[in-house]
Structure 1
Amino acid sequence: MNIEDILNGSKYNLTQFSQESITSLLERVIEKNNKGKPALYVECLIRKKLIMLKPEEIVRQLYIDKLNKQYGYPLNRMAVEYVVSFGREKKKADIVIFDKDRKTAPYIIVELKKPKLKDGKEQLKSYCNATGAPIGVWTNGEQISFYNRKDPNYFEDIPNIPSVDESLADILTERWTIDTLIQKDKLVQERKSLKDLILEMEDEVLANAGVDVFEEVFKLIFTKLFDELQSGRDKKRVLQFRNYGYTETELKEKIQNLFEQAKNKWEGIFGESTKIELTGSHLSVCVSSLQDVKLFNSNLDVIDDAFEYLMSKSQKGEKGQYFTPRYVIEMCVRMLNPTEDENMIDTAAGSCGFPIHTIFYVWKQILREKGIKQSNLFTSEEKPVECTDYVNEHIFAIDFDIKCVRVAKMLNLIAGDGKTNVLHLNTLDYERWDEVTKEEQWTDTYNEGWKKLKKLRSIKNSNQFFNFDILMANPPFAGDIKESKMISCYELGKNAKGKMQSKVGRDILFIERNLNFLKPGGRMAVVLPQGRFNNSGDKYIRDYIAKHCRILAVVGLHGNVFKPHTGTKTSVLFVQKWDNELCPYKEDYPIFFATMQEPSKDNSGEKIYVTKDGKPVLDTHGHLIVKHDLYNHDGLTQDGIAEAFIEFAKKEKLSFF
C-alpha cells in the first residue's frame, strides 16, 4: 500500500508540493494494522502522535511542513483541528496559525476538508468570520487560493500569505512588473483557469450586480490585455490593472482610464462613450480576482474557456455555435500546412481560433527563416513587420454573431498589432452584403477589412465567388434555413431529385458556400455532423462535394469533444478543389481516414490532461496538456493523426506538402 493508493479517486492531489517535501513525508510513514487491514500512519508534526493517513491528512501534513519551512512559521504557533464555535454548534478548522502578539487569536486559517473550491471557500469564510482571522487559505493539494477578509461579505483574493517576518501590508504594497506577473501567475501557480475565476466572481458579485456579465467581463479582459501589452513592451513599467491598496473610487477611476487607453489603441470593439458599469466595490472584487493572472504568453485555451462559458451563458448555444477546441484547430492547421503568401478565411469564425492558429503556424515559419525563436503562443512581444503584414493582408474572418465578432476582433487586433480583417456579416446571405456594407456604422468599424476582402472576389461586383487558398471553419449545425430567397441561391438548396426544398440544414448550405470561397486548387477543413458522411439521404451532398473537389481526409472526432454543449458526433472533412495544375481531376484515388481514440474530455465535458507517474505533464510554459491523439505536442506526446496524414500527403504528392 502507498500514498497513491490513498489519493486515488479522491479530489486531492500533491502538485502544490515539492518532491523533497513529499519524500520527507514518505520517510516518516509507517504501516500497521487497522481492524485487520494494513494502513499507513505518520506522526503529526503538531499533535506529536500517530495519525492514520487519509487524502486530507496527507495534504495537511505537507502543508504544515510548507508553512514551517517555506514561510517560517514555528510549529508552536500552529494548531490542527482547532475548535470554532457557531453558537451551540462546534466545527474544527484544519490548520490555524495564531497571531504573534495575541497568542490565542487565529491569524491564518487553512481549509482542506472540502476539496472543491466553492465548498471550501464557504467553509473558510465561516471560520474566518467566526474567529475574526484576517487571512484564509484553501487548498486540495493541487489548486490553492489565498484570501484577505475585508468584511464578512467580502474576501479579497491575494497573491500569497505573508511569511513569518512579513505583514499583510508587505504582500499588498509590492509594485508588480510583467516579470512579477510571470513569476506569480495564478493560472500556473494555483492551477486555476480563467473560467474558474469568472465563476468565483459571479458567486461573489456579478450575479447580483445588475449588469450584463458578458459585457463587463469582456471590458475587464480587454483592459487587462492592454495593460499587459504595454508592460510586455516596457519591462520596467508598473502594471496598472491592480489594486495597490486604493480606495474603491480611486480604483474605479484608474481602471476606467486604462479602459479608455485600450479603446483608443484597439478601435471598433467598444463605442466611444462605453464605460465600465460595475460599482467601485464590485470592480474591486473583480480586479483582485483577475490581477494575478497572465493572459498574454499563455495558450489561448485560457481566454477561450472563459469566453466559451460567457457566450454559452448568454446564448445557450441556440444557434449551434460552439468554440472549436484548440487541439482540433491545431490538427487542421498542421494538415493544411498554410504558407506566408496564401490567403486564409474562416466563414463562421466564433472566437477566431482557426485564423489565430494559422497566424501562429505561419509566424513560426517566418521567424524560423529569420533565426528568431518563437513559441506558438499569444504574445505581447513586438513582432517583425513580416508577421504583422501577414495578419493584415492574408487573414480574414466572418461571423454573424456580434459578440463573437467582437471577441474575435479583439484577439486578432492584438495579433495583428492594431489591424484586422474580422467582419460582421451573414456568410450564407451574401446577396444582402451590399446593403449591410453601405451602412455608415458598419463602414466605420469594418471598412478596411471589407476593402481587402473585395479585392479577393473572383467576379467583379459579385459576393458569391472568391479566390482563397485556404478555408477552415466549424459552421453552426443547429437549425434549418427556411428563407426561400436564400435557399434559391444554392445548388444544394435542391434535393436529390433536383426540386427546391422548403428548408435546408444550415451546415449543408455552408458546404457549398465555403467551396465558393476557394479558388481552384484551394483547400478546406470543415467540421460537419457525422450523419452527413453516412446517412443514405445525404448521398447527393457527398456527390456534390466529390464533383467539385478531391476528398483528402475524413477525421472522426470523439463524441466528447464538443461537450458539455452537445454530444453530436462530428468529423472533419478535408478537401482540395479540382485544378489542372495543383489538383488534377482523378476518378479514383485513396482517401485518408482516421478516428480519434482519446476522448480529450470526460463525459461531463471537463478536459482530460496528460499525466506521468500520477503527476500532470506541463508544456514549456507550465500549462497542462490535453490528452488527445490528434498530433504530437512539442515532442512531449506521441505522434498522432496529423503526422500520419502528412506522411500520406507526401506519398500522394499533394501540392501543399
Structure 2
Amino acid sequence: MNHEDIIQTILNDSNYSLSLFEEEEVNDLKGRIYTKVVNGNEKPYITCIIRDREIQLKPEEIVRQLYAKRLMDKYEYPKNRFAFEYPVSFGRETKNSDIVIFDRDSPETPYIIVELKKPKLKDGKDQLRSYCNATGAPIGIWTNGEQISHYHRKEPNYFIDITDIPNVNQTLGDITRERFTLKDLIINDKIANERKSLKDIILDMEDEVLANAGVDVFEEVFKLIFTKLYDETLSQHDKNRIEGFLDNELNDEERANYELVKQTLENFNDRNCRVMEFRNTGQTEIELYNKIQSLFDSAKEKWRGIFQDSSRFELSSSHLSVCISSLQDVKLFNSNLLVIDEAFEYLVNKSAKGEKGQYFTPRHVIDMCVKMLNPKRGEYMIDPAAGSCGFPVHTIFHLTGHLFENTEISDEDQEDILKVFGIDFDEKTVRVARTLNLIAGDGETNVLHLNSLDYERWNEYVNNHNWSQTYGSGYNRLEKLRESRNSNKDFDFDVLMANPPFAGDIKESRIIHKYELGFKNNGKAYSKIGRDILFIERNLDFLKSGGRMAIVLPQGRLNNSSDERIREFISEHARILAVVSLDQNTFKPHAGTKTSILFVQKWDNELCPVVEDYPIFFAVSEKTGKDNSGDYLYVHDENGQYKLDKNGHLIVNHDLHNHGGELPDGIAEEFISWAKDERLSFWEGD
C-alpha cells in the first residue's frame, strides 16, 4: 500500500472527506500511520490518541482521530476529559456516541458530544439531538470531515446554531457574546469554516422550524437574506478599513489563505467598528423579533420595490429566533454570487414545482459566455429571460472590475451599469434579481417584470401605477433603445445573453402569430411551439446589426432534422460564431436536458459582413462542474482539501474557462485566441 496515498485510498468510495482539516493536521496523521499484515492482507493502523491502543483506520476513524486532535490542540481539552464510543442509553437500547468531552466540574456528565457516523447533515443532526437529549449535553457537533455544524441545546428539542464551541477556558456565554463586528463575521463565516452552502443551511432551517411554521418558505427566507445583506452593507466603512489592513499585512497569495487571513485579523482593532444587528444576542424572542423587523423595514426603505412597505415577518418570534441563529454567522457578500444563487435556485424551483422550466445558470457557464462575448464599456447588454440575472450581474463585473463585495461604485461605473438590462416574466425571480442588481448597481437597476415574448402587451404593465412605481425608471431607459418610437419589437442592444426556459409550449395564437418561426413552411401557424424557439427570434430582434448573442438551447435544436428551419432562420440573420456543447449534468438537479450554447453575431456591413462560407468554433465540455446529482464538484489540492481562490471561495472543477488562472485554460481562452485570429469585431484591438 502506497503510504503517501494511504488516507485517500481509505476514503475512496466513502462519504467522508478531509477538506475541513489543514494540511499540517493531515500530515500529522499520516506520520502516525503504520501497516500490519492481517490474514495475509496489509492493513493501515494507528495508535489511538485517546484509547492508547491499536485501531484499524477506516474512513470514520480517520475523521475521528483528526477532529479529536483538533479538540486537544486548538481548543485545549485535556485527554482525560475524552471518551470514544461512549454508551448512551435509550430505554433498553444502548448506542455509542463517537466522541464525548465531559464537564470540567462534573466528570461523569457529557458536556460536548461529537457525531460522525451519519455522513449527511440531517441524519447526523437527528442522531446528535437524541444523544444530547438523552445525556443532557448542552453542546453538539456534527462533522463528516467536509462540513461541520455546532449546536447549543437550550432545552429539549430546541437547538440553535452557534459560531464555534468554547475552548477549555471559555463558557457558552463567551461564544454568544453581544458585541460582534464585521471582523468577527469574516473570522467566523460558517460557509468558509464549516464548508456548508447557504442551501445546506436553509435545508437545516426547514427541518428545524420552517416546514411546520405555516408560512411561505420562499418569502420568509427571502426576507431574512434581504435583511442580512442590508446589515452587511451598513458595515461597508468597516470593510474598507479591514481590506486596507489586510493589504498592508498580506500579499495576494497570502490573502488566498483563509486560515492566515483569520489569524491576521485577530490583530485588527475593531473597537470603533459597527456592531452587527442581525444577531441573536440573548435578548428575549420578542425583543429580537422587533429588532430584526426594524432592520428589515430600513432595508425596504433603501432597496425599494422588492417588498411592499407593509411587509412583515410572518414567522413567529420563536421560529425567527432559530432562523437568525442559523444565518447570523453566514457572510453573504460573495464575489461570484454562488452562495446566494444556489439557495434561491432551490427555493424558486421548490415554489414553482418546475412548472415553468426555470433554473439558474451556473456561474462558471455565465463567466464563459461573458468572457467570449467580451462586453465593452459604452455597450448595451440585455438578458430577456433573466432569472436571477446572472448574465447581467456578471456583465457588470466584467465592465467595472467590481465584484459583489460591498464596495462603493464610481459615477463612471454607474453609467455603464445602467446600460445593462434584465427582463423576466416570473415575479419571484425578478425580485431576487432586483435585490442583487440594486446592490451591485448601488441602488439603481434595469431589471423589469415583463413577458419578453408578449411585447405588444407591455403597455398593460406600464399603465399599472404600482408597476410603474417600481420599474418605471428602468423601463424609460429601455424605451430609449427602441428602433421605432411606437414599437417594442426591435431594439438596439450590442450584447445579449440568455438561458430561456425550455419546459412548456406557447399556445396563445396571438403570440405565435407575431413570429416568423411561429409558422410552418406551408404558411400555416403552429398550434403550439417551444418557448426557446420563439426566444431565438425574439433575441435577434433585441440586437442591432452587428450585435452578438449567446443563448442556451436544447441540443436537439442544433442537430434534429425537424429543426432544420430554425437553423436556416438563424443563418439568414446572423453569423454562427461558436457552438459549445455542455454536459448533461450542467443544469441538474432541476433539469437533465442535454444543452449547447449558441454564439452568433448579426450580419452588418461593417462589423460582420455577410459571407457564404466561414469557419465556426466548436467545443465540447468534458468537465461539467457537477455530479450526477447536480451537486457542485470542487477543486482539491494535493492533500485532498478544497482549494480556495484569491477571494477565498471554492473553485468549481470545470473546463469552461481558467477561473483567473486557478484552472488550466479552457474553452473560453481557446475561443478568444480563435476569435482574434478570425478578427472578429468585438475582439479586434484587445
Alpha-carbon shift at residue 396 of structure 1 (Å): 0.7
Partner AA of 2:337 in structure 1: L
* Aligned residue in 2 for 1:423: 448
Structure 1 counterpart of 2:61, from 48, 57, 60: 57
1:40 is paired with a residue whose SS is strand
Which stretch has the larger CA shift, 191-200 or 432-441? 432-441
Q: Does 1:499 align with 2:524?
A: yes
1:527 is paired with a residue whose SS is strand
Distance 2:370 2:29 in 1: 47
* Aligned residue in 2 for 1:560: 585
Structure 1 counterpart of 2:602, from 560, 563, 577: 577
* Aligned residue in 2 for 1:313: 350
**1:249-264 equivalences in 2 (<5 Å):** 249-264=286-301
TM-score by length of 2: 0.93
Structure 1 counterpart of 2:663, from 610, 613, 637: 637
**1:210-229 equivalences in 2 (<5 Å):** 210-229=214-233
Contact 1:297/1:380 (<8 A) preserved: no
Distance 2:50 2:558 in 1: 65
Contact 1:138/1:145 (<8 A) preserved: yes
Distance 1:330 1:106 in 2: 50
Structure 2 counterpart of 1:466, from 486, 491, 502: 491
Alpha-carbon shift at residue 200 of structure 1 (Å): 0.3
Distance 1:458 1:35 in 2: 82
Post-superposition CA distance 1:59-82 (Å, at most 9, x none): 111222111111111101111111
* Aligned residue in 1 for 2:409: 383
* Aligned residue in 1 for 2:509: 484
Partner AA of 1:640 in structure 2: G
Instruction: For CA contacts below 8 A with separation 6 or more, give which structure has more relative contact order.
Output: 2
Alpha-carbon shift at residue 17 of structure 1 (Å): 2.3
Q: Does 1:446 align with 2:471?
A: yes
* Aligned residue in 1 for 2:182: 178
Q: Where do 5+ consecutive residues of structure 1 fail to align?
A: 365-373
Identity across aligned pairs (percent)?
A: 65
Structure 2 counterpart of 1:245, from 273, 282, 297: 282
Contact 1:457/1:465 (<8 A) preserved: yes
Q: Cα RMSD over matched residues?
A: 1.2
Distance 2:28 2:466 in 1: 66
Structure 1 counterpart of 2:429, from 404, 412, 420: 404
Partner AA of 1:130 in structure 2: A
Post-superposition CA distance 1:416-457 (Å, at most 9, x none): 111111111110011111122111111111100111111100
1:113 is paired with a residue whose SS is coil
Alpha-carbon shift at residue 222 of structure 1 (Å): 0.3
1:580 is paired with a residue whose SS is coil
Partner AA of 2:421 in structure 1: F
Distance 1:302 1:598 in 2: 21
Contact 2:198/2:342 (<8 A) preserved: yes
Contact 2:392/2:421 (<8 A) preserved: yes
Alpha-carbon shift at residue 29 of structure 1 (Å): 2.1
Structure 2 counterpart of 1:162, from 139, 154, 166: 166
Post-superposition CA distance 1:618-638 (Å, at most 9, x none): 211222211111111111111
Distance 2:632 2:386 in 1: 22
Contact 1:148/1:155 (<8 A) preserved: yes
Structure 1 counterpart of 2:36, from 32, 38, 48: 32
* Aligned residue in 2 for 1:347: 384
* Aligned residue in 1 for 2:634: 609
Contact 2:181/2:274 (<8 A) preserved: yes
Q: Does 1:106 align with 2:131?
A: no
Contact 1:233/1:382 (<8 A) preserved: no
Structure 1 counterpart of 2:396, from 352, 359, 372: 359
**How many residues matched?**
645
Partner AA of 2:416 in structure 1: Y
Distance 1:380 1:538 in 2: 46
Contact 2:425/2:450 (<8 A) preserved: yes
Alpha-carbon shift at residue 598 of structure 1 (Å): 1.2
Distance 1:484 1:3 in 2: 63
Partner AA of 1:25 in structure 2: L
Structure 1 counterpart of 2:136, from 128, 132, 137: 132
Structure 2 counterpart of 1:324, from 351, 355, 361: 361
* Aligned residue in 2 for 1:530: 555
Q: Does 1:297 align with 2:324?
A: no
Q: Does 1:457 align with 2:482?
A: yes
Alpha-carbon shift at residue 649 of structure 1 (Å): 0.9
Contact 2:97/2:114 (<8 A) preserved: yes
Distance 1:512 1:395 in 2: 20
* Aligned residue in 2 for 1:266: 303
2:545 is paired with a residue whose SS is strand
Q: Structure 1 residues 112, 124: closer, same or farther in 2, change over 3 A? A: same
Contact 2:100/2:112 (<8 A) preserved: yes
TM-score by length of 1: 0.97
Q: Does 1:596 align with 2:650?
A: no
Q: Structure 1 residues 169, 298: closer, same or farther in 2, change over 3 A? A: farther
Partner AA of 2:481 in structure 1: L
Distance 1:396 1:19 in 2: 45
Distance 1:386 1:35 in 2: 73
Partner AA of 1:616 in structure 2: Y
* Aligned residue in 2 for 1:367: none
**1:268-283 equivalences in 2 (<5 Å):** 268-283=305-320
Contact 1:222/1:410 (<8 A) preserved: yes
Which stretch has the larger CA shift, 270-279 or 11-20? 11-20
Distance 1:27 1:480 in 2: 61
Post-superposition CA distance 1:376-397 (Å, at most 9, x none): x3111112222222212x0111
Q: Structure 1 residues 295, 13: closer, same or farther in 2, change over 3 A? A: same
Contact 1:388/1:415 (<8 A) preserved: no
* Aligned residue in 2 for 1:371: none
Post-superposition CA distance 1:345-396 (Å, at most 9, x none): 00000000000000001112xxxxxxxxx5xx3111112222222212x011
Q: Where do 5+ consecutive residues of structure 2 fail to align?
A: 240-272
Contact 1:231/1:237 (<8 A) preserved: yes
Partner AA of 1:137 in structure 2: I
Partner AA of 2:343 in structure 1: A
Distance 1:363 1:298 in 2: 13
Distance 1:170 1:183 in 2: 15
Partner AA of 1:313 in structure 2: K
Which stretch has the larger CA shift, 263-272 or 9-18? 9-18
Alpha-carbon shift at residue 174 of structure 1 (Å): 4.7
Partner AA of 2:323 in structure 1: C
Structure 2 counterpart of 1:623, from 624, 631, 649: 649
1:197 is paired with a residue whose SS is helix
1:634 is paired with a residue whose SS is helix
Partner AA of 1:550 in structure 2: R
Alpha-carbon shift at residue 298 of structure 1 (Å): 4.3
Distance 2:566 2:21 in 1: 56
Contact 1:465/1:516 (<8 A) preserved: yes
* Aligned residue in 1 for 2:11: 7
Distance 2:540 2:561 in 1: 22
Partner AA of 2:150 in structure 1: F
Structure 2 counterpart of 1:433, from 426, 438, 458: 458
2:234 is paired with a residue whose SS is helix
